[in-house]
Each structure stands twice: as C-alpha cells, then as structure tokens.
Structure 1
Amino acid sequence: MMQAPPRSIMTLDAYQYKAKLLVKDYLLADSYIPYTSLLGGIFISKMVYDLTELLSSYYYIGYSSLTKTQRIEWNNRGMSSVHAIFISAISIYLVFISNMFSDNRPDGLIISRSSNLSTFALGVSVGYFITDLTMMFWAYPILGGKEYVFHHFLSVVAVSYSMFSGEGQLYTCMVLISEATTPAVNLRWILDTAGMKRSWLYLVNGSILFLGWLVARILLFFYLFYHVYVHYDQVKQMDIYGLLLVFGVPSALGIMNMIWFAKILKGLKKTWNSSRRNI
C-alpha cells in the first residue's frame, strides 16, 4: 500500500501552483504587463543601485575615499548603465533583428504594432526613468542639471504613452537605442573620479564614446526621420499625442544630442592633444 506524501510537500506544491497561476494570470497577462513591468523597473533600479554600492565597497578600494555626493553619483551611474545595456539590446533586436516592424508583414500598420516583449521592455524603462528622475530631484543638482531633468521628463512621457497606447513603439525603440552610449559616458566619469584621466583607457573610452554617439544619437536620428518620411501615410493616421511623440520628442532630444556631441568632440580633442604632449 502506497504511503501518502507528507503534508508539507502537498502544501509546498499548492503554493507553487498558486504562484504559477499568479504569474500567468496576472503578472504576464497582456493587460497587466505595463503596470507590472513599470513596478519591476522601479524595483530593479533600486536593487541595482544598492548592489553597485555593495560591490563597489568590497571590490574597489577607492570607493570609501569618495565623498558622499560622489558615492551617490557612482551608484546612480551603475544603475543607469545596467538599464542602458538592457533597453538598447532589446530595442536593437526589435528594430533591426526581429521582423516585428518589417514592411513585409501583413498584420497592420507599422506604427500600431506592439508585442508583450516590447511593452514589457518599455515598462521597465519607464520604471527606471521615474526612479532616476526622483533621485535627480532628491539630490539636485548632483545627478544632473535642468537639461537632464528635461531629458528624463520627456522620456517618461513619451515612453509611457507608447507603452500604454501601443502606438509608435518602433520610433520609441529607435530613440532608446541611443541609451547604448550611456555606459561609455558613465565610464568616462568613473575614470575621471578614480584619477585615471590620463590613462590609455580614458582615451580609448572617449574615442568609443565619440563613435557611438555619432552612430546612435546622430545618424540613427536622421534614419528615424527618414523612416517617418517614407511611412508618412501611416504616421499621419496617429492621434495628436502620437504625432507629438514621433516629431516633437525626437526633435528635442536630437537638438540636445547635437549640443552634447559638440562637447564630446571638444573633450576628445583636448584628451588627444594632451596624450600627444605626454608621448
């Protein structure tokens, strides 16, 4: 005669079953993905911030010698780098690798296409921008001045609209690919703070930042507007908020990118000239 399984095992199985139902029927349900991913983005951002602080204090001997404001910015840049890698990788996949936004697909207008993956990724990104914007106000102006606040505010509004409405996710992902330059920006600050401004790594990182910015924040934006021009017959069918998303936000960010690009170029020239004199 077979012996019945212990009550503890039955209870554990029951909890696991309920957990699976919770994930399937709530967390991963189409109608709840924007909310759960947004909250997840906030939670993950805070977790990465704390992990950056923990790991840096253990593995970087110079971390303890940083000022309080430097440690806040150090941790914040770790958080922003993780988000940048995540959202730029998924955006590159959605825009250039998958066939989600292909002209050859017969399933509706390009400007109205979305998926669980794209909505989830945008939700995580909104959660990050909300977290970072909150930290900017809390520590103002340590983590950035008015231009950074404006940049993040635009990002929250634009990405949130695209996530909830499902409109213009192609162009939102194109803009978010520009986040690929963020790790290089953060590494530049970290090397400067660590006293490595005259190192070869600082020079290499500056060159990578220049090329990455040129591709992801200048040329890609020209491609975005070209794509809008080619598909204008679809774009004009969007409502007024969608049109502002497609034309207003990329234009504002594009102008800011050009201004920052000029500063990057000036800084790179200064670094190259300084390295030549030291040879």
Structure 2
Amino acid sequence: MFSSEGIKMVIESYQSQAELLLNNYAFADSSFIFTSVIIGIFACKTVYELSPIFSSLYFKSYSSLSRTKQIEWNNRAMSTFHAVYVTIVSLYFIFWSDLYSHDVFRGPITLRSSTLSSFALGVSVGYFVSDLSMIIWFYPALGGIEYVIHHLLSLVGGTYSMLMGEAQFYAYNVLISEATTPSINLRWYLDAAGMKRSRAYIINGVVIFLVWLVARILLFVYLFYHAYLYFDQVKQMHTSGVLLVLVVPVVLSVMNLIWFWKIFKGLKKTLAKRH
C-alpha cells in the first residue's frame, strides 16, 4: 500500500515529466497550444463516433430513438467525457498542484500558468469549439440561446487564459462547475430510456440539486470572494483579462441561479408526485 505522501510523490513525478515533455515541445514549436485544441476536437469527435457503436450494443432503447434523439445521445456522451476530464484536471490544479498555492514568492496568482496548465485548457477549448459548432448546426435541437451564450463565454474565457496565461486560477474554478454535467446527462438518458418513474431518476434529481449547489452556486461565491480579496492582483492583468474575470463569472452565475431554480422546482414536483 502506498502512503498519501508516496502517491503525491508519484503524481508530482509524472507532472514533472509531462511539464518537461511539453516544455521541450513548446520550445521547438510555438504552435503546441493549438495542437492541444486539435487534440480536444479529435477526442470529442472520437467519443461522438464511438457512442452509437457502444450504445446500440449495451442500451436497447438507443436503436428505437429518433435520429434527432440519437444525435443528442451521442452529443451528451461527448460532453460527459469532457466533464469528467476537465473536472479532474481542474481539481488537480486548484487543490493538489502547488501552481496556485499562497506563495508570495511565486508572484500574483492571477498571472501564474504553466505549459501543462495551458495545454490542459487547450483541450477543453477544443471541446467547446466542437460542442458549440454542433449546437449551432443543429439549433435549437441541442439547446437554445442560453447554451450558445454559455459556450461562447466559456470559449472566450478559456481561450484568453490559454493564450495569455492570465486568470487560469479563475478559469479552472469555473470549469469545476462542469462536474454537474454527468448527472444532468444521466437524467436525460434515464428519460430517453423510459425510466422517468424509477427510483434511479429520483436519486439522480437529488444528486443534481446537491452537486449544482456546490459546484455552480457555492463555488462561484468563493470565486467572487477570492477576486475581491485579491483584487490588487486582478488589476495587474491586462484590461481585457480584468473584464473577463469580472463579467464572465457574473453572467454564468446568473444563468446558474436561473437553472438552479428550475432544478429545485423540478425536484420538488417529482418528490411530491412520488409521495
């Protein structure tokens, strides 16, 4: 059995190797950031193409769905894949890595970045490019104007942080909110499979409420508090970066509150029917 310190040393060793590999690549080719975006797009495309193969084998209800519903099913598989990836990456950089630690000798937290953190953001940017393209192409089948606004804000904020190396701490805090996506998608899958009256559907509703409360409400409160507490460091960024830090989270938090109210009413209605 490895101790927690041993596990941490192993992870830090892999991080150092990844940083060294990416740094060497970045030194040799300045387009490495755009390569990460391409990797993100390719990964999304791969998941989207594999989804109908596995879904038709393991889910009997998939074949009976309409073409539009199958497209949304595969799209949600893609978004679930990205959500798991970006949640793990964000939690690592925010809570495990020392990149954003409270070390005054490392400079302002708003200006900190690394080759690995920028590369990881690029993969996420690739997802938002892919998903936004699908939303616009099939509009409004995969989501209305609120989804377009959400993805545009996420794309602009992520791209800026990736290219400029600024506000990555806040970018990763916002991206943790993607932790709600798997449960949201599972709810849609249960509905599509005709399991809306099942116990799993009710449990899923409770999970969505709790995860949304933590990841999209309380975490944003912490983000605003942190920006207020370190506003002297926020002001050291370029003007466009300051605007993004002040505007993007505010707009997203308003949308999160509106969706949270709908989730609360939906859960209340479901529990009332169950009772």
Q: TM-score, normalised by structure 1?
A: 0.88
SS at match of 2:99: coil
Separation (CA, whole Å) in 1 of partners of 2:103 and 2:78: 38
| 2:219 partner amino acid | L
Contact conserved, 2:206 with 2:267, CA < 8 A, in 1?
Answer: yes
Aligned-partner Cα distance in 2 for 1:202–1:244: 40
| Per-residue deviation, 1:30 | 7.5
Q: Which runs of 5+ in 2 are unaligned?
A: 1-20
For 1:263, what is the secondary structure of its paired residue?
helix
Equivalent residues in 2 for 1:1-279, closer than 5 Å: 26=25, 31-104=30-103, 106-276=105-275
2:4 alignment partner in structure 1 = none
Structure 1 residue identity aligned to 2:146: E
Q: Distance in 1 between matches of 2:74 and 2:31?
A: 30
Paired residue for 1:17?
A: none
Amino acid at match of 2:209: F
Q: Which amino acid aligns with 1:65?
A: S
CA distance change for structure 1 residues 28 and 52 in 2, over 3 Å: closer, same or farther?
farther
Superposition RMSD in Å: 1.6
Tell me by how many angstroms 1:105 deviates.
5.2
Question: What is the letter of the counterpart of residue 194 of structure 2?
Answer: G
Q: In the TM superposition, what whole-angstrom CA distance separates every residue of 1:117-147 from its partner, at most 9, and x where no partner exists? A: 2111110110000000111111111100000
User: Counterpart amino acid of 1:99?
Assistant: D
Alignment-mate amino acid for residue 72 of structure 2: E
Residue identity opposite 1:127 in structure 2: G
The 2-side partners of 1:176 and 1:189 are apart by: 21
Of 200-209 and 112-121, deviating more is 112-121
Cα shift at 1:116: 2.1
CA distance in 2, matches of 1:67, 1:214: 33
Q: Secondary structure at the match of 2:254?
A: helix
Say whether the 8 Å CA contact 1:27–1:36 is kept in structure 2. Answer: no
SS at match of 1:62: helix
Gaps (5+ residues) in structure 1?
1-21
Per-residue deviation at 1:23? 8.4
| AA at the equivalent of 1:194 | A
Verify the 8 A CA contact 2:190 2:196 in the aligned structure 1.
Answer: yes
Aligned counterparts of 2:205 and 2:71: Cα–Cα separation in 1: 23
8 A Cα contact 1:114 1:166, kept in partner:
yes
Query: How many residue pairs end up in the alignment?
Result: 255
Greater shift, 183-192 or 110-119, is seen at: 110-119
Instruction: Write the distance in 1 (CA, Å) between the matches of 2:162 and 2:22.
Output: 20
- The SS at the match of 2:105 is coil
CA distance in 2 between partners of 1:38 and 1:111 (Å):
22
Q: Which amino acid aligns with 2:84?
A: I
CA gap of 1:110–1:49, structure 2 versus 1, over 3 A, is: same
Deviations 1:239-262 (A, max 9, x none): 111011111000000000000000
- Give, as a single letter, the amino acid of the residue that structure 1 aligns with 2:251: A
Deviation at 1:184, TM superposition (A): 0.5
Measure the CA separation in 2 of the matches of 1:101 and 1:218.
Answer: 22
1:191-210 per-position Cα deviation (integer Å, ceiling 9, x unaligned): 01111011111111110110
TM-score (norm 2): 0.89
